[in-house]
Amino acid sequence: MKTIMWFRQDLRLNDNPALIEAAKSGKVIPIYILDDINASSQKMGSASRVWLHHSLINLNKSLNGNLIFFKGAADKIIAKIIQETNFEKIVWNRCYEPWRMERDTRIKNWLKGMGIEVKSFKGSLLWEPQEIYKSDGTHYRVFTPFYRRGCLGAAHPRKPKHYPSNIQFDNSFNTTSNCALEELDLLPNESWHYKMIEGWSIGEKGALDSLNEFLENGILSYKSGRNIPSQKSVSRLSPRLHFGELSPNQVWYAAQEIIEPGDSNLDSFLSELGWREFAHHLHFHYPTLANENLNTKFNSFSWQTTQKSLKAWQRGVTGFPIVDAGMRELYQTGYMHNRLRMVVGSFLVKNLLQHWHHGRDWFHDCLVDADLCVNSASWQWIAGCGADAAPYFRIFNPITQGEKFDTDGFYTKKWVPELAKMPKKYLFCPWQAPSEVLEQSGVQLGKTYPMPIVDQKNSRELALQAFSKLPKTG
């Protein structure tokens, strides 16, 4: 039997349920379709496309050059393949963005009507949204009971499986609609992306190496170290999980082989995998989560539309060093430490009163791990309008956040080098430094480093006033 293996967000050989099924069925035809048509406005951002390009290169090498590339609407491409070939079966691992689920259901029903065997598998989540419900049959809206009671109280995730060693490729497959990887046009014309990927080893092997590195050197200090951006205590596995270079099952069980159950570092790390599950759970039950406030009382909120402030935030020139450090790390590397994501997010929606959509869009374009479900749920959380969200009065102070979590200033000085000589006392509030300190540090406020674009205390008070005017219910 000739089976098409449709790779999507599962760019790996190990623990790939659909690939295992395809290899069992007979000759395998591996394909990848870049479907910007059905994705429409939710197509991948620039940084994610760069990552995808390199991940596909490595996947194709693992498949001995047998991966076939297509570009366009997946339903139309598969229909064209049917016309030109005689494949009998198609398999894939399920995705959970609303637009993908709608498209995949349409394709599956149509193929079955054509008499073609179709199988889909759980390969990207530990627990699918339709598996986790409360005892009364309703879905969860609060993370802790979702994870502690719903997920941990459900059946254990399946254990990961090795890659199939007996893959036989169908070299007779021939279609006129495929293209070369370069024709997917995933790389931008500008050269910024070369520097962005310098610190990454993209692909399945790099993902496994990253996992092992974290388990050897990071997880034992995860609970406390995960808040310190200069330390290597976070896993940086989010792009690996998003593109499926690793399965969450591999990560879940590998971590538990290193640390005994009950350890607070292990529990803290696994709960972060749980948050990823929660984001997909929310998006499944609220398909408009990417665009609409889950808490509808925020529909009446008067967001500001100051382009100058938004641009300063995007470029990392707000005058608040810890915010600027996070935004520059994002733009230069395609990644931002999780603590900083909360700090810069709070600053945008609460100190600047900019709509969370602006943060969602910038992160979607700049993050290599940009995931529709996680990005949307996280921005709604920080804005206060999502499920189990941060209360409106929780406004991160960018000065104290820097002092607390970047005590020695290593992170901030790395990404804001114009403040490299600034003493710790004034590093996170250089506008408060005496003129002689600024001169000794080589800092000219307004020239070498900007003055703050807002007054921290006043902007906090304005935010509290604005949020307090929201309707009591919604």
Q: Of the residues 6, 92, 99, 379, which is catalytic?
A: 379
Instruction: State the pTM of this model.
Output: 0.95
Catalytic (active site) residue 431 = no
Determine, yes or no, domain membership for 26.
yes
Catalytic (active site) residue 356 = yes
How confident is the model over 17-69, as pLDDT tens digits? 999 999 999 999 999 999 999 999 999 999 999 999 999 999 999 999 999 99
Catalytic (active site) residue 192 = no
Q: Which residues, 6 or more positions from 370, have their beta carbon under 8 angstroms from its beta carbon?
A: 44, 45, 47, 48, 242, 363, 364
Q: Of the residues 110, 128, 275, 295, which is catalytic?
A: 275
For residues 274 and 332, state if they share a domain. Answer: no
The boundaries of the domain holding residue 209 are 125-159+203-285
Q: How many CA atoms lie within 13 A of 328 on its CB side?
A: 18
Q: Of the residues 88, 117, 128, 272, which is catalytic?
A: 272
For residues 311 and 449, state if they share a domain. Answer: yes
Domain at 413, CATH number: 1.10.579.10
For residues 341 and 442, state if they share a domain. Answer: yes
Selection from 55, 49, 57, 118 nearest residue 82 by Cα: 118
Q: Of the residues 66, 128, 303, 403, which is catalytic?
A: 303
Determine, yes or no, domain membership for 97.
yes
Distances in whole angstroms, Cα of residue 309 to Cα of each of 28, 331, 351, 365, 457? 52, 17, 10, 19, 17
For residues 393 and 447, state if they share a domain. Answer: yes
Instruction: Provide mean pLDDT across the span 230-241.
Output: 93
Catalytic (active site) residue 338 = yes
Question: Of the candidates 237, 259, 285, which is a domain's last residue?
Answer: 285
How confident is the model over 102-158, as pLDDT tens digits? 999 999 999 999 999 999 999 999 999 999 999 999 999 999 999 999 999 999 999
For residues 19 and 130, state if they share a domain. Answer: no
Determine, yes or no, domain membership for 316.
yes
For residues 438 and 384, state if they share a domain. Answer: yes
- Is there a contact between 50 and 184 (Cβ–Cβ < 8 Å)? no
Question: Of the candidates 226, 250, 285, which is a domain's last residue?
Answer: 285
Determine, yes or no, domain membership for 167.
no
For residues 136 and 71, state if they share a domain. Answer: no
For residues 139 and 216, state if they share a domain. Answer: yes
Q: Of the residues 128, 131, 338, 403, which is catalytic?
A: 338
Distances in whole angstroms, Cα of residue 198 to Cα of each of 12, 192, 202, 332, 338? 21, 11, 10, 10, 20
pLDDT at 218 > cutoff 70: yes
- Is there a contact between 54 and 374 (Cβ–Cβ < 8 Å)? no
Confidence of residue 473 (pLDDT cuts 50, 70, 90): low
Domain at 87, CATH number: 3.40.50.620
Q: Of the residues 99, 200, 356, 381, which is catalytic?
A: 356
Catalytic (active site) residue 379 = yes
